[in-house]
Amino acid sequence: MKEEIKKQEQDVVQVVKGAGINFFGTLLGNLLRFLYLFFLARILSQDDLGLYSLGLTILKFLVIVSLIGLDTGVVRFMALHHGKQDFGRMKGVLNVSLFISLPLSILVATGVFAFSEIISTDFFEKPELKSVIQIFSIGIPFFTATVIFLAGMQSLKKMQYKIYTRELGENIFKCIFTPVFIFLGFQLPGVIMANVVSFVLVAGLSYFYVKKIFSGYRIETEHQREFKPLLAYSFPNSISEITVRFIMWTDIFMLGYFSESKELGIYYVVTGIIFIGVLFVESFSMVFNPTIADLYNRNEHAQLSRLYKMVSKWIFITSLPFYLLIIFYAEPILNIYGEGFVPGALSMGVLGCAYIIYALTGLSGYVLLMTGKSWVNMMTNVFGCLLNVGLNYLLIPEYGILGAAWGTGLSLIAVNLLRLIEVYYLVQVHPFSRAFSKPLFSGLAALILMVITSKWMAMTNHYLDLLIGTCLFLGVYSLGLFLFGVDEEDMAILDKLRNKLTKSYVT
């Protein structure tokens, strides 16, 4: 019994420690993205920023197509083989994924380059988009390789390498090369070339770290390549991943189709700020995913349920203040980028509300994937994709970026609530506990205080107003959590984590 409890605590500590590394690394990466987006908003016109956002979204979507779900397959199967110490099959999964995805990504890149004029002129009716698509297409194979390499590192819970590559490396490279190309007089093409150069360098860096990780394993047998199980799992997941990304990017695509580039530029800044909050879900999910697969494979459903509740609670505690703040301070935040972006404030408020629900239920999709329910997840995402396309089609022509926010927000809520029901019936777990009431009441109390005090606290300096208000909100929120008290289970885990980190530091 003691050994079982010790094993449960080890699982939780490992998730918390990995999530902590991922969180602070991703936080730093998002800070760099924020500064980079601020830089782009200042040097590019809103039209050019809109073209950049549309081209980047097309690139990311085509990378998902090139991967055909193999990145999630790598996480699941490498985690399972690692649990069995089958290092030959681990390496085989990675090799098979690269063998399939890289040629496919080159084919996709060639196709989009060749049809760039049709895509830009005939579909989006933006001829100036052609060169944007052509330059971005060069980066598709490198981006694809990076995602596969990072999936391999994620399966082994080596979260620090993801931080070094995607979060720090990619953003630092963009921040270095963009001013260089701008100085040389390239403007928008220079920004895109800087992005492509960063994709190439990050792919090389990811390969270096993967090689370093596998040098620590003795693989005496020939790499055991299992195409059939990997593809059987990955194919439905590829449809699922394409549809879930389409849910996320339908608003960008349809704004590109129905609206002017200027509106798209405003919306790109809004979604860029909103997506910063996703790091709270991703920080835990990157470490939680292989743990789900391992626990489910070992039939440890009680520990899976316990961990699911605890991690979901932590995600909600960290996510809620961020989204409440960007809802309340939408106008001052967007004003940082320039007065021309302030019309996106209402859209940011709508999306902020939707992402609070996402924070509550965001892990449910990962639970379906890592427990082998990829077909169920696929059908749910297809439903969400169709709903999102329908809502955006109806709302964008009439309401512009606000219609895009409502369409995407409602679709996101519907899909995540449906996933929650599926996880409960298929895996017999759910994320909720009474502990969720603590951050909820603390957040509402802080928000009510902000509404009451906002009139007499208002200053002529918007930046100072934003800073003081944020500090006050976080202070009241933290005080509320403290007064409600910390769960004994959380304290035990945090003590163990602190002891482990202290021991690591001393040694």
Q: 488 in a domain, yes or no? A: no
pLDDT at 369: 72
Mean pLDDT of 48-53: 90
Q: 497 in a domain, yes or no? A: no
Handedness of CA 78, 15, 496, 27 (dihedral sign): positive
8-state DSSP, 223: P
Q: What angle do CA 306, 276, 174 make, to 5 degrees?
A: 130
Report the C-alpha gap between 111 and 192 in whole angstroms: 19
Give the mean pLDDT of the chain.
81
Does residue 412 carry a pLDDT above 60? yes
Q: Which of 191-205, 294-308, 312-326, 464-478 has the lowest mean pLDDT?
A: 294-308
Q: Which of 221-230, 368-377, 397-406 has the highest mean pLDDT?
A: 397-406
The answer to whether the CB of 42 falls within 8 A of the CB of 202 is no
pLDDT at 505: 39
Confidence band for 298, pLDDT divided at 50, 70 and 90: confident
Q: 355 in a domain, yes or no? A: yes
pLDDT at 115: 93
Q: Which of 63-67, 226-230, 413-417 has the lowest mean pLDDT?
A: 226-230
Residue 329: closest CA among 457, 436, 466: 466
Check residues 152 and 132 and name the one with the higher pLDDT: 132
Q: 467 in a domain, yes or no? A: no
What is the percent of the chain where pLDDT is above 70?
Answer: 82
Mean pLDDT of 242-259: 80
pLDDT at 489: 58
Residue 100 corresponds to which amino acid? I
Tens digit of each residue's pLDDT (9 = 90 or more) over 255-283:
888 888 788 888 988 988 888 888 777 76
pLDDT at 2: 45
Whole-number Cα distances in Å, 277 to 86, 356, 358: 37, 9, 10
Residue 124: closest CA among 51, 48, 193: 51
Q: 444 in a domain, yes or no? A: no
Q: What count of Cα atoms within 13 Å lies in the side-chain half-sphere of residue 104?
A: 17
pLDDT at 114: 93
Residue 314 corresponds to which amino acid? W
Number of domains in the chain: 1
Q: Which of 164-168, 363-367, 369-373, 386-390 has the lowest mean pLDDT?
A: 369-373
The answer to whether the CB of 502 falls within 8 A of the CB of 18 is no
Whole-number Cα distances in Å, 392 to 32, 118, 255, 300, 459: 31, 23, 9, 42, 38
Does residue 374 carry a pLDDT above 80? no
Domain span at 280: 2-218+226-432
Q: Which of 117-131, 205-219, 423-437, 464-478 has the lowest mean pLDDT?
A: 205-219
Q: Which of 5-14, 71-80, 403-412, 434-443 has the highest mean pLDDT?
A: 403-412
Q: 52 in a domain, yes or no? A: yes
Mean pLDDT of 460-478: 80
DSSP characters over 123-162: IS--TTHHHHHHHHHTTHHHHHHHHHHHHHHHHTT-HHHH
Does residue 19 carry a pLDDT above 70? no
8-state DSSP, 222: P
Confidence band for 370, pLDDT divided at 50, 70 and 90: confident
Q: 453 in a domain, yes or no? A: no
Report the C-alpha gap between 451 and 456 in whole angstroms: 10
Tens digit of each residue's pLDDT (9 = 90 or more) over 161-209:
778 888 888 989 999 999 999 988 888 999 999 999 999 999 999 999 8
Confidence band for 497, pLDDT divided at 50, 70 and 90: very low
Encoding tokens for residue 60? 């990311």
Q: 449 in a domain, yes or no? A: no
Mean pLDDT of 456-479: 77
DSSP three-state, residue 233: helix
Does residue 310 carry a pLDDT above 70? yes
